[in-house]
Structure 1
Amino acid sequence: MELGRAPENPAPEDPGLPGVPSPVAPREAFSRLLHRLSRPEARRGKGRDSVFQDLGALIEAAECDGLFEGSGASTCELLGEVAKALGRLAAPPKEDGSRGDGRPAVAETAVDVGLLFLKLLRKIQTGKTSLGCSAWKTGLHHLAGPVYLFAVAHSVEQPWTSPRSQEVAREVLSLLLHVSDCGSVAGFLRGENEDEKGRLTAIMGLLKPNLAKESWKNNPATKHVFSWTLQQVTRPWLSQHLERMVPPSLLISDDYQTENKLLGIRCLHHIVLNVPAADLLQYNRAQVLYHAVFNHLYTPEHELIQAVLQCLLDLFPILEKGLQWKGDTTRPTTQCDEVLQLVLTHMEPEHRLLLRRTYARNLPAFVKRLGILSVRHLKRLERVIIGYLEVYDGPEEEARLKILETLKLLIQHTWPRIPCRLVVLLKALLKLICDVARDPNLTPEPVKTALLAEATNCLILLDHCSQGQVKGLLAKIPQSCEDRLVVSCIRNVQQAS
């Protein structure tokens, strides 16, 4: 007897047993299983195994029509609720700082849950090729969101995953994309075609209760699922979901833990890169993002500072679109000026190498961004440049190379103000050249060559903007200096046209 057709006088049967030849059996069985999944014993060994075993048997025994169709309370809706309950069972415990938090058990549960999801998805795949099953689309509609959330939460290495759970979760995600006729996660979220609605709205609806201020830390996987999902949605689709994406990103970035701050800043940076300026300027969103990110500049964490400065540098062009400058007035100071001023304040006394390298790495972009307006910060830039050129920065010399790049850009953009600083800058560059040339062991040859070349280029630029004064000041050095590398640099300056 087919599952989709009931007899006129059905005999009373236990609807909780899988494979019962009755159209209401799957629906009532799922209802009972959902009730069992909500009990505390479903999280423990035997109770959990029993529920999983019964659910697996029910899925295997049911035909496509019986699994996804039914009268009254929709079987598909119940199936969706069961999928959500399974996802909650596989969720990692709340982070409380304890060691014995049961995370290995979470990975084991995730494997079992993933195998159940694979069975359900294979049923949908069978229904797609079967002429007798027309309800697989409804089943996929209710299952896609919970299955996606589970797969993303467990598909990459995390404290609550194991190699086996990651493998199963990736297989679940791959099969979900296949049965959804999607070539990528991005297509699954936004829709593969222009006239096709993606599933991002439904997925964010499932995530929303867990992304509230009071609840987002209850499940450590939530922030990672949100962040990973956000990264898959790019321009121009992201602007349609801006109201759903900005608040959780701000919430995560405002946490006291550096890991969460970094994750939130990366989410905000992705929004800045993939949302049109007009949408970000609307309702003052860009200013809100700026102030949220700017506050992290006071954190002494080099990875966070790097993420913050990259985000701000991409946000400046958007913020400055609304500025109007009339040629007869002084140009107004911008957020770029404000950030550079704070960065230079932090750079001067900074002694930690990682932070020094991070600041120096981003300094050229600020000078390039401001151009001739860098003269507003020229005195402080001069002090930072001279101070950083004096300090050895390790074998790679990243900080000093970036400072030389900054100096080169500064000379090019603010050359009318450079001649009065000629002697100070010339002494700093010559000292650097001598220190590098006399360093026999610490600096690798390629790095040493790059440092000498950059310093020589800066000397040539100084000579150009001072109308040949540098050549005159360096004229007697080759006669008295015995160091081959130093003399070579000086001659390169003298021979430059």
Structure 2
Amino acid sequence: MEHDSSRESPSRDGSSLPGEWLSSSLGQAFSQIVHRLNDQESRRGRARNRALQHLDVLLESRPCHRLFEGSGASLLGMPEMLGKLAKALEKCAAPPKEQEGREDGYSEGAEQAAEVGSLFIKLLRIIVSARGCLLFREWESVVQHLAGPIYIFAVTHSLQQPWTTPRSQFIAGKVLALLLQITGCDSVAGFLYGESEDEKGKFTEIMELLKPDLNKESWKNNPATKHVFSWTLQQVTQPWLNQHLEKILPPSLLISDDYQTENKVLGVDCLHHIVLNVPAADLLQYNRAQVVYDALFNHLYTPEHHLIQAVLLCLLNLFPVLEKALRWKGDTARPTTHCDEVLQLVLTHMEPEHRILLRRTYARNLPAFVKRLGILTVRHLKRLERVILGYLEVYDGPEEEARLKILETLKLLMQYTWPRVSCRLVVLLKALLKLICDVARDPNLTPEPVKSALLEEATDCLLLLDHCSQGRVKGLLAKIPQSCEDSKVVNCIRKVQQVSEGTPYSGT
């Protein structure tokens, strides 16, 4: 009888296979905690708090620190159980839905995240201390099951968001640092795509974990998911990104197609990162580049300057990809491009626009379009002329960003389309002289460095205009210094005259 009793519970006296008894006992305890954390009714109630407290006590206990002792057979199922525990904890700390996102709910969620983060730190430290007890294969299995959920938790709460506090961010940062230490990675980028060529990173696994929450029906259930996806995506660059294109492009398009401007900008930033880091051949395959272009083009009709800025920057990098598919034969006219189409729409919106922020955004990007089209900008010359003249007349605030960018655009336009400039000499000369006089006589609104920049850019435009008209500007300005009493205006005109005559201008 005694012999049979000792065989039924061999490890209670520590005489045989203690690891098996420990793993079995702790596995059952972990299983119960996971069950309680996954229970929808108790996830945000007292049962959840009791489960977290129970887990805290368990992780502090001596048996848990001997979790990985014993033979390989005793570890059977433990990595999977720890993975389920990590997933349950990550879901438990997830912020509430967007529609429920009141400040009090977010405050409570940040405290919950800090508590969960502390539990992750204790668990990871146990894993670190057990490194010497495990075979490489066993260690890899443990890390494989824990890495994904813990990474998602760490990124969710380490970024500055409405659901985070300095404390929860600090704890989440420590969790991420410990995770990188365990995986032997020097950076998040290395963790995602692998530190070496033969090492497989965790990016695919992370995307698979995020996938259920990144479809049309569920992506707003957790407000952190889109930020985790976006931040993770932007850590991976070429040449590693193109192999994941099927996983990252649909969610990026989905987020950019939302009705909220914040989400649109986030999605466009994701698309921009894809355009910059995926080879043109892959983007052109299956008409992906055209799909991205259509999605971006539709955003140009919105009046949000942040969104317009993000869209125009992305389009400017997408144009070279789209134009690779075009074929031009020298005996025919060049076909219109996507850049022509976008510039035409931008100029249509610029003419009547009165909102300062939008005017600045359009003007900021206009030089890049002229550079992109080069001599083909002549197709848009009449409309560009109207926009330039209109924008030069309007004061743009102390920094004068719009007028400075319009002057830069005018310089580029004259350089690329100089044969067509001489017939517009009088109109452009009047606009530039009026601008110089307005800036020179402005008593207090514009800071002196900005005034100097405007006068210098306007003078450069006069010089280019003089070259394009074979010196006619110098003749038209000849009598102004004799009648003008403003020294700043006279200096600008003298510079044009002296440089036109071939004399170096040193200023006064």
Aligned length: 487
Q: How far apart in 2 are the matches of 1:22 and 1:143?
A: 20
The residue type paired with residue 482 of structure 1 is E
478-487 vs 403-412, greater mean Cα deviation: 478-487
Q: How far apart in 2 are the matches of 1:97 and 1:446?
A: 49
Q: How far apart in 1 are the matches of 2:321 and 2:198?
A: 31
Q: What pairs with 1:188-207 in structure 2 (closer than 5 Å)? A: 188-207=191-210
Matched, 1:31 2:34: no
Structure 2, gaps ≥5 residues long: 1-5, 13-18, 503-508
1:38 CA drift (Å): 1.9
Question: Per the alignment, in what secondary structure is the counterpart of residue 330 of structure 1?
Answer: coil
8 Å Cα contact 1:64-1:124 kept in structure 2: no
- 2:342 is matched with 339
Structure 1, gaps ≥5 residues long: 1-6, 14-18
Q: TM-score, normalised by structure 2?
A: 0.92
Match of 2:107 among 100, 104, 111: 104
- 2:291 is matched with 288
8 Å Cα contact 1:127-1:133 kept in structure 2: no
In structure 2, do the counterparts of structure 1 residues 199 and 67 end up closer, same or farther at CA, with 3 Å as the change threshold?
farther
8 Å Cα contact 1:68-1:135 kept in structure 2: no
1:297 CA drift (Å): 0.4
- 2:9 is matched with 10
Q: What pairs with 1:271-282 in structure 2 (closer than 5 Å)? A: 271-282=274-285
Q: How far apart in 1 are the matches of 2:364 and 2:159?
A: 30
Matched, 1:176 2:179: yes
Match of 1:324 among 327, 338, 342: 327
After superposition, give the CA deviation of every residue in 1:370-401 in whole Å (9 maximum; x if it has no partner): 00000000000000000000000001000000
1:70 CA drift (Å): 5.6
- 1:16 is matched with none
8 Å Cα contact 2:436-2:458 kept in structure 1: yes
After superposition, give the CA deviation of every residue in 1:158-188 in whole Å (9 maximum; x if it has no partner): 1111111111000000110011000000000
- 2:363 is matched with 360
8 Å Cα contact 1:26-1:67 kept in structure 2: no
Match of 2:387 among 384, 387, 394: 384
8 Å Cα contact 2:193-2:236 kept in structure 1: yes
- 1:93 is matched with 96
Question: Per the alignment, in what secondary structure is the counterpart of residue 367 of structure 1?
Answer: helix
Match of 2:490 among 466, 487, 490: 487
After superposition, give the CA deviation of every residue in 1:196-235 in whole Å (9 maximum; x if it has no partner): 0001111111000000100000000000000000010001
The residue type paired with residue 150 of structure 2 is V
1:73 CA drift (Å): 6.8
- RMSD between aligned alpha carbons? 2.1
Q: How far apart in 2 are the matches of 1:81 and 1:23?
A: 15
Match of 1:244 among 244, 247, 266: 247
Q: How far apart in 1 are the matches of 2:395 and 2:231?
A: 39
After superposition, give the CA deviation of every residue in 1:253-305 in whole Å (9 maximum; x if it has no partner): 00000000000000000000011111111111111111111110011001110
Q: How far apart in 1 are the matches of 2:136 and 2:255?
A: 44
8 Å Cα contact 1:401-1:451 kept in structure 2: yes
1:40 CA drift (Å): 4.0
110-119 vs 350-359, greater mean Cα deviation: 110-119
8 Å Cα contact 2:296-2:315 kept in structure 1: yes
Q: How far apart in 2 are the matches of 1:457 and 1:244?
A: 50
8 Å Cα contact 1:231-1:267 kept in structure 2: yes
Q: TM-score, normalised by structure 1?
A: 0.94
- 2:50 is matched with 50
Match of 2:116 among 113, 120, 123: 113
8 Å Cα contact 1:42-1:51 kept in structure 2: no
Identical aligned residues as a percent = 70
- 2:301 is matched with 298
Q: How far apart in 2 are the matches of 1:356 and 1:310?
A: 16
After superposition, give the CA deviation of every residue in 1:296-333 in whole Å (9 maximum; x if it has no partner): 00110011100000000000011111111111100000
- 1:372 is matched with 375
